[in-house]
C-alpha cells in the first residue's frame, strides 16, 4: 500500500529498492506477455507502435483498405448507411450442474462462413477483402503449425505472438462488415454471415439432440453438451462433420469435469485440472471486491464438485478472516472507473439525477483533476456510527497495515448478501447432491 511504500522509502532504503526492482521486473514480464502481438501489428498496419495499441480492430482493417486503394489510385466509397442486424445465436437448454461436458464449435466460424459463402463487401471493387482474409487465414495456419513443431522456446514464443496476431485480425473481418466507420463495410453481408452462422449452429444442435446428446448451452464460444453414452466421442465428431458444408470444420476441443449452467451466457466450467472458469456478469461482476469474487468462485466450485453442504463452512471461514483481519487490504479494496467528469457528477447530484458514489466523493475531496476513465481504489473504514458507504470511503493508498481501520461488519454483510442472492441455488444443489447419493 501507499503507507507501506512511504515507510520503506523513509526508513528502509534497501527494502524500497527491492520492491521497486520487483515492480520493474513484473512490468517487464507483463510487457513480454502483451507486447509482442502489438509489435508485430505495428509492422502490418500503417500505424506506429503507440497508435496500433489504441486503435480498434475494425479501424486497423479499414487502414489496410485505404492504404491499398490509395496505392492503386482508386476512388474510395462513401461510408455506408448503418443499420441494425441480428447477431450470433445464444440459447440455454439446461440449468444446474452437468458432468462429463464437452465443448464443440466450428473452427473460425465467421471467417469460414465469409470465405465459403462469398460474404464480401459489395463496394470493394479491388477485392482487397477477399485477398486479405484468404492470406491472413493461410498465414495463421502456417504460423500455428510452425509453432507446434518448433523446439526453441524463444522462436516458439515469437510464433505464438505471430499466430495470435493473425487470429485477432482474422476474427475482426466479420466485425468490419458491420463497422459504421468502415468505408468498405457492408451491413447486408454482415447480416448474411450471422444468419448462416445461426443456421449452422442450430443444425448442429438438432443433430446432437437426435443422436442422444444433452445440449446445455450455445453461445459465441460454441456448444456445450453431454455426449450420449453409447457413441464414442470420435465417432460422434466424425459423423457430425459429415453433415456440415464443405469448408466448415467442426472441432471437439475440450472435455470438462463439470459445468454449472446458471442462465444464458452465464456459466462456470470445472476443467479436468480442477480450475474454475467463470463467464458472465451475473457470476463475475467487476463491481465486486476481490474477496467476493474469490468466495463466488470457491462456492461455485463446491457446487460443481457435488459438495454444496461445505458452502456454510466456506462462508464461516471468510467471516473469520474478515473479522480477524487476516487478509491484506487488497482483498477488500474496490476499484471504480469514473464514467463522468467531476463537473457532470456535481450537476447530476444537484439535480437529483443520480446518487452519491464513493469514488466520485473521494475524487472531489482529493483536489486532483480526475477525468473520465481514471480509476479510484478505496475501502470502507469503521466509523463511530452508521453512515452511507460514500461517507466512510477511504483511499486505498492511505491504508495503514499497522493501524487497520476497515469496517469488518460492512464486509461481513456483503458476504451474507452473496449467500442470500444465491441461497435458492445452494438449496437446489444440496437437494440434487442428496438425491444423487441416494441413487448410488
CA dist 147 and 150 (Å) reads 5
What pLDDT is recorded for position 435? 45
* pLDDT at 5 exceeding the cut of 80: no
If you write DSSP's letter for every residue of 357-385 in order, what string do you get?
A: -HHHHHHHHH-S---TT-EEEEEEBP-SS
C-alpha cell at 80: 455506408
pLDDT category at 165 given cuts 50, 70, 90 is confident
Angstrom distances, CA of residue 319 to CA of 286, 380, 385? 22, 16, 21
Q: What are the phi and psi torsion angles at 274 (to 5°)?
A: 90, 5
What pLDDT is recorded for position 200? 95
Strand runs labelled E in 95-200? 96-106
Helix, strand, or coil (residue 412): helix
Angle between helices 13-44 and 2-11 (to 10 degrees): 120
CA dist 24 and 30 (Å) reads 10
Largest CA distance in the chain: 76
Q: Tell me how far apart the terminal alpha carbons of the chain are, to the nearest angstrom.
A: 52
C-alpha closest to that of 225 among 242, 244, 206: 206
- Based on its alpha-carbon atoms, the radius of gyration of the chain, rounded to whole angstroms, reads 26
Single pTM value for the model: 0.81
pLDDT category at 3 given cuts 50, 70, 90 is low
Angle between helices 128-149 and 109-116 (to 10 degrees): 130
pLDDT category at 19 given cuts 50, 70, 90 is confident
* pLDDT at 438 exceeding the cut of 80: no
User: What CA dihedral angle connects 385, 386, 389 and 393, to 10 degrees?
Assistant: 10
CA dist 212 and 232 (Å) reads 12
Q: Of 351 and 426, which is predicted with more confidence?
A: 351
Q: Of 138 and 181, which is predicted with more confidence?
A: 181
What pLDDT is recorded for position 375? 95
pLDDT category at 201 given cuts 50, 70, 90 is very high
Look over the chain and give the mean of its residue pLDDT values, rounded to a whole number: 90
- pLDDT per residue over 47-84, tens digit each? 999 999 999 999 999 999 999 999 999 999 999 999 99
Q: What are the phi and psi torsion angles at 406 (to 5°)?
A: -70, 150
Residue 247 DSSP symbol: T
The answer to whether the beta carbons of residues 177 and 119 sit under 8 Å apart is yes
Angle between helices 358-366 and 342-350 (to 10 degrees): 120
Percentage of the chain beyond pLDDT 70 is: 94
* pLDDT at 302 exceeding the cut of 90: yes
* pLDDT at 393 exceeding the cut of 50: yes
What pLDDT is recorded for position 137? 87
The answer to whether the beta carbons of residues 413 and 78 sit under 8 Å apart is no
* pLDDT at 11 exceeding the cut of 80: no
Q: Other CB atoms closer than 10 Å to residue 49's CB: what's the count? A: 12
C-alpha cell at 105: 464449435
What pLDDT is recorded for position 166? 84
C-alpha cell at 274: 480442477
What pLDDT is recorded for position 155? 85
What pLDDT is recorded for position 139? 84
* pLDDT at 398 exceeding the cut of 60: yes
- pLDDT per residue over 125-142, tens digit each? 999 999 999 988 888 888
* pLDDT at 145 exceeding the cut of 50: yes
Give the rounded distance of the alpha carbon of 21 from its chain centre: 30
CA dist 197 and 116 (Å) reads 12
Residue found under cell 513484473 = 26
pLDDT category at 110 given cuts 50, 70, 90 is very high
What pLDDT is recorded for position 194? 95
What pLDDT is recorded for position 439? 31
Residue 269 DSSP symbol: E
CA dist 144 and 160 (Å) reads 7
The answer to whether the beta carbons of residues 229 and 121 sit under 8 Å apart is no
What mean pLDDT comes out for the span 233-245? 95
Angstrom distances, CA of residue 376 to CA of 15, 134, 293, 360, 396? 27, 45, 19, 8, 9
Strands lying side by side in the sheet with 393-395: 334-337, 375-380, 393-395
**Which domains, and CATH codes, for the chain?**
2-55 (no CATH), 91-279 (3.90.1600.10), 290-329+412-439 (no CATH), 333-405 (no CATH)
What pLDDT is recorded for position 147? 87
C-alpha closest to that of 429 among 298, 309, 291: 309
* pLDDT at 436 exceeding the cut of 50: no
Q: Picking from 10-14, 209-213, 350-354, 421-425, which range would have the lowest pLDDT averaged per residue?
A: 10-14
CA dist 398 and 2 (Å) reads 6
- pLDDT per residue over 335-386, tens digit each? 999 999 999 999 999 999 999 999 999 999 999 999 999 999 999 999 988 8
What pLDDT is recorded for position 440? 27
Q: Picking from 6-15, 249-258, 274-283, which range would have the lowest pLDDT averaged per residue?
A: 6-15
Amino acid at each position: 500500500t501507499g503507507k507501506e511504500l512511504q515507510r520503506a522509502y523513509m526508513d528502509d532504503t534497501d527494502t524500497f529498492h527491492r520492491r521497486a526492482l520487483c515492480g520493474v521486473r513484473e512490468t517487464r514480464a507483463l510487457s513480454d506477455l502483451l507486447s509482442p502481438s502489438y509489435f508485430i501489428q505495428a509492422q502490418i498496419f500503417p500505424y506506429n507502435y503507440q497508435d496500433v495499441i489504441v486503435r480498434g480492430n475494425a479501424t486497423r482493417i479499414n487502414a489496410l483498405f485505404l492504404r491499398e486503394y490509395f496505392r492503386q489510385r482508386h476512388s474510395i466509397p462513401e461510408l455506408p448507411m448503418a443499420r441494425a442486424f441480428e447477431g450470433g445465436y445464444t440459447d440455454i437448454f439446461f440449468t444446474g450442474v452437468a458432468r462429463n461436458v464437452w465443448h464443440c464449435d466450428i473452427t473460425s466460424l465467421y471467417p469460414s462462413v465469409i470465405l465459403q459463402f462469398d460474404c464480401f463487401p459489395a463496394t470493394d471493387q479491388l477485392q482487397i477483402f477477399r485477398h486479405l482474409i484468404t492470406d491472413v487465414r493461410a498465414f495463421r495456419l502456417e504460423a500455428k503449425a510452425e509453432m507446434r513443431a518448433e523446439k526453441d522456446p524463444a522462436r516458439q514464443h515469437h510464433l505464438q505472438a505471430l499466430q495470435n496476431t493473425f487470429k485477432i485480425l482474422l476474427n475482426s473481418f466479420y466485425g468490419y462488415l458491420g463497422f459504421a466507420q468502415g468505408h468498405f463495410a457492408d451491413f447486408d453481408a454482415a447480416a448474411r454471415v450471422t444468419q448462416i452462422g445461426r443456421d449452422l449452429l442450430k443444425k448442429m444442435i438438432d443433430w446432437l439432440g437426435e443422436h442422444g446428446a444433452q445440449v446445455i448451452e450455445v453461445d459465441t464460444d460454441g456448444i456445450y453438451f453431454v455426449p450420449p453414452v453409447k457413441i464414442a466421442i470420435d465417432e460422434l465428431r466424425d459423423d457430425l462433420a459429415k453433415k456440415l458444408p464443405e469448408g466448415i470444420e467442426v472441432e471437439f476441443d475440450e472435455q470438462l469435469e463439470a459445468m454449472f449452467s446458471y442462465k444464458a451466457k452465464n456459466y462456470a466450467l470445472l476443467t479436468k485440472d480442477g480450475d474454475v472458469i467463470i463467464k458472465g456478469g451475473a457470476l463475475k461482476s467487476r463491481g465486486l471486491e476481490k474477496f467476493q469474487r474469490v468466495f463466488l468462485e470457491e462456492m461455485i466450485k463446491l457446487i460443481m464438485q457435488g459438495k454444496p453442504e461445505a458452502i456454510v463452512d466456506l462462508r464461516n471461514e471468510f467471516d473469520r478472516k474478515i473479522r480477524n483481519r487476516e487478509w491484506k487490504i487488497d482483498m477488500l479494496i474496490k476499484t471504480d472507473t469514473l464514467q463522468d467528469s467531476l463537473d457532470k457528477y456535481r450537476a447530476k447530484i444537484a439535480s437529483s439525477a443520480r446518487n452519491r458514489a464513493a469514488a466520485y466523493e473521494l475524487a472531489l475531496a482529493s483536489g486532483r483533476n480526475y477525468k473520465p476513465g481514471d480509476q479510484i481504489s478505496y475501502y470502507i473504514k469503521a466509523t463511530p456510527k452508521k453512515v452511507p458507504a460514500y461517507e466512510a470511503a477511504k483511499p486505498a493508498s492511505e491504508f495503514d497495515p499497522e493501524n487497520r481501520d476497515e469496517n469488518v461488519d460492512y464486509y461481513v454483510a456483503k458476504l451474507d448478501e452473496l449467500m442470500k442472492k444465491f441461497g435458492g441455488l445452494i438449496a437446489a444443489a444440496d437437494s440434487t447432491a442428496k438425491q444423487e447419493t441416494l441413487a448410488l
